[in-house]
Amino acid sequence: MEIKQDKHGDVAVLNLIGRLDANTSGELESILIPLIDGGEKKIVLDFSALEYISSAGLRLLLLAAKKLRNNKGKIVLCSMKDFIKEIFEISGFTPIFKIVDTKENALKELE
């Protein structure tokens, strides 16, 4: 997995490339959790290049969402491929996360 980090004003944007599974979730965790613990309140996860997500990846996203809520922050997911969105729907995660079509819409959600 490759993670590209970017900043748009006060919003941290992480572009996830490849597979988010048990082997790679630690890599994302080592970036995402310190961002939240360091005070980031607005995070966008761009899934446009994400090819796969496992239950380990879903658990990490749930952990991040809970930490952000406790810090009065917000996470928005964007640009999901249909089969990944289906995984979120089947697992019951769609009510937990704000999911939008484009990175631009995700940034607007956090204005």
Query: Which CATH number fits the domain that encloses residue 38?
Result: 3.30.750.24
pLDDT given at position 75: 97
pLDDT-based confidence at residue 98 (cuts at 50, 70, 90): very high
pLDDT given at position 1: 94
For tokens 């890599």, what's the residue?
27
Question: Is 0.85 topped by the overall pTM?
Answer: yes
pLDDT given at position 76: 98
pLDDT given at position 81: 97
Three state DSSP letters for 11-79 = EEEEEEEEEECCCCHHHHHHHHHHHHHCCCCEEEEEEEEEEEECHHHHHHHHHHHHHHHHCCCEEEEEC
pLDDT given at position 77: 98
pLDDT given at position 25: 96
The boundaries of the domain holding residue 23 are 2-109
- Judged by phi (left if over 0) then psi (alpha if -120 to 50, else beta), residue 24 lies in alpha
CA 29 to chain centre: 11
Number of domains in the chain: 1
Beta bridge partners of 100: 78
pLDDT given at position 27: 96
29-85 tens-digit pLDDT: 999 999 999 999 999 999 999 999 999 999 999 999 999 999 999 999 999 999 999
